[in-house]
């Protein structure tokens, strides 16, 4: 068992896309990603209502919300389309309306998954606010519908709307705390302990059921937990004495108390809500 760390991620992030508008006028047509044509649409009323529910947008004035979204548009993406690339400028704030997005990074021939973003959430908010390059890439895990807001408009409204600015500060502070917890898990826990605590968290998300499914393939889970697929397989076997059995992506925890005794979950590492 190792204590090897890897750079995990938070749950805010943003994007580089080729926005097709000229002089601030909306574009309603087709964009191409990786040679694939995708329809670009004006946001409809239900989508405006959906993103208005985001905590960072909920308290801002109606006037500033209109300013923020006046050049926004939505686009449908097929699976495994790269939305943003690390090192590129953060021209847009992306909001995941449906589907899911993998945040990942690559270096020296290696690639690691960092986080999964699900509806309704932003992608790489920090890069937009700082007008900085993306520190990671993002690609769709399934068919996804994404809203895109020009980053310049986000920063302009940030300077003008106090409620919006406070909400963004709170969001980034929460993300910072999540990053610290991820680093603590990677630095302080063995791979077996990381897997055990991940399974306990997943069981909680599944309503406490003894039998539940992993929410993505094992190869990606290994990357998220900072280990190789082979190491993950050995880790699953290592948890069998603690009440865990696995069949494909289906997990059974026969003895939660035994698993908790081994994993020793800690809210200062495992509670991502605070």
Q: In the structure encoding, which two tokens stand for residue 191, read together? A: 């791979």
Residue 104 contacts residue 136 (beta carbons within 8 Å): yes
DSSP letter at 17 equals: -
DSSP letter at 81 equals: -
**Confidence band of 38 (pLDDT split at 50, 70, 90):** low
The more confident residue out of 21 and 157 is 157
**Confidence band of 54 (pLDDT split at 50, 70, 90):** very high
pLDDT in tens, 165-194: 999 999 999 999 999 999 999 999 999 999
Hey, which residues does 15 pair with through a beta bridge?
92
What CA–CA distance (Å, rounded) separates 211 from 152? 46
**Look-up of token digits 């945040």:** 103
Q: What pLDDT does 37 receive? A: 55
What CA–CA distance (Å, rounded) separates 60 from 122? 16
Third-level CATH fold of 30-181: Jelly Rolls (2.60.120)
What CA–CA distance (Å, rounded) separates 18 from 21? 9
CB count within 10 Å of CB 257 equals: 10
Edge-to-edge strand list for the sheet holding 73-77: 30-33, 36-41, 73-77, 144-150, 92-98, 121-123
The angle formed by the CA atoms of residues 136, 205 and 250, to the nearest 5 degrees, is 90
Length of the chain equals 274
**Confidence band of 200 (pLDDT split at 50, 70, 90):** very high
Q: Report domain extents, the chain.
A: 30-181, 189-270
pLDDT in tens, 220-266: 999 999 999 999 999 999 999 999 999 999 999 999 999 999 999 99
Torsion (CA) 64, 66, 68, 70 in degrees, nearest 10: -150
CATH class of 189-270: mainly alpha
Assessment of whether the complete model's pTM goes beyond 0.85: no
Helix (H) or strand (E) segment spanning residue 203: helix 191-205
């Amino acid at each position: 068992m190792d204590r090897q760390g890897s750079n995990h991620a938070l749950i805010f992030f943003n994007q580089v896309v080729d926005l097709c508008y000229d002089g601030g006028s909306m574009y309603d047509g087709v964009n191409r990603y990786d040679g694939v044509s995708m329809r670009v649409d004006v946001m409809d009323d239900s989508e405006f209502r959906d993103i208005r529910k985001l905590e960072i947008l909920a308290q801002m004035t109606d006037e500033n919300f209109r300013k923020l979204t006046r050049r926004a548009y939505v686009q449908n993406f097929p699976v495994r389309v790269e939305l943003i690339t690390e090192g590129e400028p953060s021209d847009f704030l992306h909001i995941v309306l449906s589907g899911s997005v993998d945040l990942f990074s690559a270096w020296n021939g290696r690639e690691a998954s960092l986080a999964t973003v699900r509806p309704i959430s932003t992608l790489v908010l920090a890069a937009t606010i700082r007008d900085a390059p993306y520190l990671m890439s993002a690609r769709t895990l399934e068919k996804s519908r994404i809203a895109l807001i020009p980053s310049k408009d986000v920063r302009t409204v940030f300077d003008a709307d106090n409620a919006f600015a406070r909400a963004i500060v709170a969001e980034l502070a929460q993300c910072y705390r999540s990053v610290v917890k991820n680093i603590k898990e990677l630095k302080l826990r063995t791979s077996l302990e990381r897997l055990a605590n991940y399974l306990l968290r997943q069981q909680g998300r599944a309503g406490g059921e003894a039998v539940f499914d992993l929410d993505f393939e094992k190869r990606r889970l290994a990357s998220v937990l900072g280990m190789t697929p082979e190491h993950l397989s050995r880790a699953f076997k290592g948890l069998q004495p603690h009440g865990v059995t696995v069949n494909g992506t289906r997990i059974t925890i026969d003895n939660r108390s035994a698993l908790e005794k081994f994993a020793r979950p800690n809210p200062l590492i495992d509670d991502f809500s605070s």
